[in-house]
Structure 1
């Protein structure tokens, strides 16, 4: 027993900076496993802001099944309990210092969990939440109102985008980067130009993109500096009965409009694996098929994970 106590005292006597350096190598499960309970020195180290600039929850996934009705997923209760436990411990230790929050695309957070998170990391600058089947309008709007410092958002496409973009416009004056993991139609494009005219970086990679929507974006977002449409399925939908047209190359009208951008990232190559996947999935990419590196990737460095 004396040997164990001696070892414990030696660990407790370690300089906090050294402990923080060690804890920086820990994943979220290790950081929330109870190490903060060892002693007061360890708890101080566990609360160091260096550990909590980013809360990366990509190791967490919901145990779910697809269902035919909204929200189109049913999440096992144990998954929710695990997520809630991790959130409570992490957000308590972080003391409001989290600037970046990253969720896995198969982690289906609910309104209560999102609201709880927003209230405890009010300084958030970047949110990566590729799926929000279980998030209602009231939940995401309540969170956005807290996140006044939000600058960057990665999100799925949604059926009714105006309410969200309007909320961002009202509350997030520094907002400048958006990544949409899903189709971009005329409604989405028009919403962006109406509510986020100062957007500087936009990524639509691996999505179905209407040509008219692309023109609206290029004409309406006059402050846009970087646009990524790599691996997109660019289409035009004429009036019926004419079939939709898929573009193999960008025409002169698009290239002329895009010439003012600092970066215009494109790829439509038959030999490109990402382009092949977008075409095979008809612009509605099934991210779960392709592994971790694919959904985390982006040609825009500031949006890649």
Structure 2
């Protein structure tokens, strides 16, 4: 009997590397469910950096209604409570090792929680932004000030891009990739040229783009290597009183400028389902109408989720 009992092992005796491999097969909800409370060995494994390079919260969406006053949405308290719990446990276990952070585009995170998140992800290199409404310009700029290592950003379009782009220019010296999910106008294009002239990769897929804005970035972003305008609604705005004109194909003024790029991706095909959807949504995609994870797709591999 003594020999039999001596061969038994406790939970704490499990090999760390084996535990980490097992935990890598768990989703975020399993990881934060309490496995780190089993014993000190499991706690150490649950905090291993291999598990926390990427924090994907794209499955979390806010339950909200639109309201006429700022922040223009009211979020159900249970949504906030769930997000707060998931984020705080995850950030505690990650110990500052998160490099990629993915939010759902329909997640309305509060200013305080977003700031809390930024402070506990100081090494962040890639961010897929949630909706801005409750964060505000100050919230995202404060976060960018912390994220010195940020290289890639996927974001909704904003009304005042210069403030954010200037913050990225001043703080994120290795920043090289940007995806904008929303209309792209002359103001936004001029802002990129002014503050991010060394930008290498830009995706504007499924957005409305002014032709003049496209010309500005092709002429002004000297370091641009990859440009994706697949399924975009390209619009030419002639002087008043003429109405805007939706272009059906790229003309020579655009094509000649794209020759300098290593990779130029476009699709303006009436038979393309995604092109039809962008046209129907007038360049501001209503992703909730389509397949669940369609918003994560990008023809540029490094920007796909």
How would you bin the TM-score normalised by the shorter chain?
Answer: over 0.9
The offset of 1:241, in angstroms, is 2.3
Secondary structure in structure 2 of the residue aligned to 1:229: strand
User: Any idea what the Cα deviations from partners look like across 1:98-136, whole Å, max 9, x if unmatched?
Assistant: 000000111111111111111111000000014222111
Task: Establish whether residue 290 from structure 1 lines up as the match of residue 278 from structure 2.
Answer: no
CA contact (8 A) 1:189 1:214 kept: yes
**In the aligned structure 2, how far is the partner of 1:155 from the partner of 1:93?**
26
Secondary structure in structure 2 of the residue aligned to 1:266: strand
1:229 counterpart residue number:
229
The offset of 1:10, in angstroms, is 4.2
Task: Establish whether residue 118 from structure 1 lines up as the match of residue 118 from structure 2.
Answer: yes
The offset of 1:146, in angstroms, is 0.3
Secondary structure in structure 1 of the residue aligned to 2:230: coil
CA contact (8 A) 2:109 2:130 kept: no
1:67-82 counterparts in 2 under 5 A? Answer: 67-82=67-82
Of 110-119 and 236-245, more deviation after overlay is shown by 236-245
The offset of 1:256, in angstroms, is 0.5
CA contact (8 A) 2:248 2:268 kept: yes
1:23 counterpart residue number:
23
CA contact (8 A) 1:267 1:275 kept: yes
The offset of 1:26, in angstroms, is 1.1
Paired residue total = 299
1:1-305 counterparts in 2 under 5 A? Answer: 10-305=10-305
Quote the RMSD (CA, aligned, Å). 1.4
**In the aligned structure 2, how far is the partner of 1:282 from the partner of 1:138?**
30
Unaligned runs of 5+ in 2: 1-5
| Structure 1 runs (4+) greater than 4 angstroms displaced | none
User: Any idea what the Cα deviations from partners look like across 1:174-226, whole Å, max 9, x if unmatched?
Assistant: 00000000000000000000000000000000000000000001000010000
Pair 239,162 (structure 1): closer, same or farther in 2 beyond 3 Å: same
TM score, norm. by length of structure 2: 0.95
TM score, norm. by length of structure 1: 0.95
**In the aligned structure 1, how far is the partner of 2:19 from the partner of 2:291?**
33
Unaligned runs of 5+ in 1: 1-5
Pair 70,238 (structure 1): closer, same or farther in 2 beyond 3 Å: farther
**In the aligned structure 2, how far is the partner of 1:207 from the partner of 1:68?**
25
1:3 counterpart residue number:
none
**In the aligned structure 2, how far is the partner of 1:273 from the partner of 1:256?**
27
**In the aligned structure 2, how far is the partner of 1:198 from the partner of 1:110?**
32
Secondary structure in structure 1 of the residue aligned to 2:127: strand
Of 39-48 and 233-242, more deviation after overlay is shown by 233-242
CA contact (8 A) 1:130 1:181 kept: no
